[in-house]
């Protein structure tokens, strides 16, 4: 699954309401496991390689979460992983101890150094305002060397959105298990938001079971809005329909290349 949870507050993201990224973060890899990302990470690697002019050795990820994609991308890149949530960075460190981890908001992060490529996966869905998307594009631009490229992979754009349900989960080596039901809806097709409810069934190692719920609003932007946000930041921008994994029909890939 992609992009669970989020909340639309004044800042576009209210951590207080994000249970999976705060008090439930220790369950994240049982909701969505690193091994499930091998195929799609290869697509992102290929997309970044095609887009980047010159060597592609260093990668900055914005919103790296539990580090599932990074656990594969680190075979090809030296990865710097950034996220708003310290709890999620802690989860990522458990599977990516060799990667640099830094706390930061993709709209405002400024590390004062550049990378060959920038990668923004499903964390971008938590940007619910067009101005936030534009700010994230500027962050990517500021962290790329000339000729470098960014790849954004939103779960949906306005044109590809479909309501639906999904379920899944994993059994952990520590005896804990998680199963979830995800329900995705779009109450108002005229705005730039969709709604996600998630119910988690959490089984502890001692067999006790509890049920938790999360609800969030996520961002939905039109193709032209994506392209415009990237161009406004200074990128040569394009959509790459060929890169998205087949199992995510709503996902679209946007590439920005920083002029050499
Ligand atoms: C679904 S997780 C990302 C998982 C990641 N794609 C992976 O491969 O493991 C979404 C993450 O987005 C982060 N996030 C949401 N808004 C953010 C922002 N404005 N800046 C940085 N990270 C953000 C959350 O803290 C959360 O860790």
Decide if pLDDT at 7 tops 80.
Answer: no
pLDDT bin (cut points 50, 70, 90) of residue 47 is very high
Same domain, 144 and 240: yes
Domain boundaries, position 240: 15-158+221-257
Quote the ligand 1 centre to 104 CA distance (angstroms).
10
Same domain, 243 and 134: yes
Judge if pTM exceeds 0.85. Answer: yes
Decide if pLDDT at 15 tops 90.
Answer: no
Same domain, 130 and 171: no
Same domain, 202 and 178: yes
Beta bridge partners of 171: 177
As a whole number, mean pLDDT of residues 208-218 equals 95
pLDDT of amino acid 73 = 98
Residue 214 φ/ψ, nearest 5 degrees: -135, 150
Instruction: Kindly give the interhelix angle for 223-233 and 130-142, rounded to the nearest 10 degrees.
Output: 40
Quote the ligand 1 centre to 207 CA distance (angstroms).
30
List the one residue out of 183, 180, 185 whose CA is nearest residue 161: 185
pLDDT bin (cut points 50, 70, 90) of residue 39 is very high
pLDDT bin (cut points 50, 70, 90) of residue 13 is very low
Q: Evaluate: CB of 85 within 6 angstroms of ligand 1.
A: yes
Residue 251 φ/ψ, nearest 5 degrees: -70, 140
Decide if pLDDT at 142 tops 70.
Answer: yes
Same domain, 51 and 169: no
As a whole number, mean pLDDT of residues 194-217 equals 96
Same domain, 199 and 110: no
Q: Whose CA is nearest to atom 1 of ligand 1?
A: 3
CA dihedral 163, 165, 170, 175 (to 10 degrees): 130
Decide if pLDDT at 188 tops 90.
Answer: yes
pLDDT bin (cut points 50, 70, 90) of residue 17 is low
Give the integer Cα–Cα distance in Å for 139 and 147: 16
Report the residue among 60, 63, 89, 94 best suited for mutation to probe ligand 1: largest number of ligand atoms under 8 A from its CB: 63
Give the integer Cα–Cα distance in Å for 61 and 77: 11
Q: What is the CATH number of the domain that holds 103?
A: 3.40.50.150
Report the residue among 10, 15, 65, 143 best suited for mutation to probe ligand 1: largest number of ligand atoms under 8 A from its CB: 65
Is 1 within a domain? no
The per-residue pLDDT of the chain, averaged, comes to: 92
Same domain, 126 and 22: yes
Same domain, 187 and 99: no
pLDDT of amino acid 241 = 72
**116, 209 contact by CB (below 8 A):** no
Q: Evaluate: CB of 13 within 6 angstroms of ligand 1.
A: yes
Quote the ligand 1 centre to 187 CA distance (angstroms).
24
pLDDT of amino acid 5 = 36
pLDDT of amino acid 248 = 83
Total domain count, the chain: 2
**Secondary structure of residue 60 in the 3-state scheme:** strand
**60, 119 contact by CB (below 8 A):** yes
pLDDT of amino acid 18 = 77
Is 29 within a domain? yes
Same domain, 61 and 178: no
| pLDDT tens per residue, range 145-161 | 999 999 999 999 999 99
Helix (H) or strand (E) run with residue 167 in it: strand 164-171
Q: Evaluate: CB of 89 within 6 angstroms of ligand 1.
A: no
pLDDT of amino acid 168 = 97
Quote the ligand 1 centre to 74 CA distance (angstroms).
18
Strand order in the sheet with 164-171: 164-171, 177-185, 193-203, 209-219
The closest-lying atom of ligand 1 relative to the alpha carbon of residue 71 is 8
**2, 155 contact by CB (below 8 A):** yes
Q: What is the CATH number of the domain that holds 200?
A: 2.20.130
Same domain, 19 and 70: yes
pLDDT bin (cut points 50, 70, 90) of residue 256 is very high
The closest-lying atom of ligand 1 relative to the alpha carbon of residue 132 is 19
Q: Evaluate: CB of 3 within 6 angstroms of ligand 1.
A: yes
Quote the ligand 1 centre to 210 CA distance (angstroms).
25
């Amino acid at each position: 699954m992609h992009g669970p949870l989020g909340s639309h507050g004044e800042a576009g993201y209210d951590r207080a309401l994000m249970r999976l990224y705060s008090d439930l973060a220790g369950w994240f890899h049982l909701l969505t496991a690193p091994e499930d990302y091998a195929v799609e990470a290869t697509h992102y690697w290929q997309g970044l390689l095609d887009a980047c002019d010159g060597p592609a050795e260093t990668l900055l990820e914005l919103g790296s979460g539990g580090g599932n994609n990074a656990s594969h991308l680190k075979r090809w890149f030296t990865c710097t992983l950034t996220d708003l949530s310290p709890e999620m960075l802690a989860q990522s460190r458990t599977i990516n101890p060799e990667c640099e981890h830094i706390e930061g908001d993709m709209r405002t992060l400024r590390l004062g150094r550049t990378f060959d490529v920038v990668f923004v996966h499903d964390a971008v869905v938590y940007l619910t305002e067009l101005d936030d998307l534009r700010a994230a594009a500027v962050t990517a631009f500021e962290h790329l060397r000339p000729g470098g490229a960014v790849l954004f992979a939103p779960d949906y754009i306005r044109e590809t959105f479909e309501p639906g349900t999904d379920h899944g989960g994993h059994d952990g080596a520590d005896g804990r298990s998680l199963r979830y039901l995800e329900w995705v809806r779009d109450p108002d097709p005229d705005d730039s938001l969709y709604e996600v409810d998630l119910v988690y069934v959490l089984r502890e190692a001692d067999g006790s079971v509890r049920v938790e719920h999360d609800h969030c609003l996520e961002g939905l932007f039109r193709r032209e809005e994506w392209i415009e946000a990237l161009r406004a930041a200074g990128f040569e921008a394009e959509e790459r329909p060929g890169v998205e994994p087949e199992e995510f029909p709503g996902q679209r890939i946007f590439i920005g290349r920083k002029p050499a």
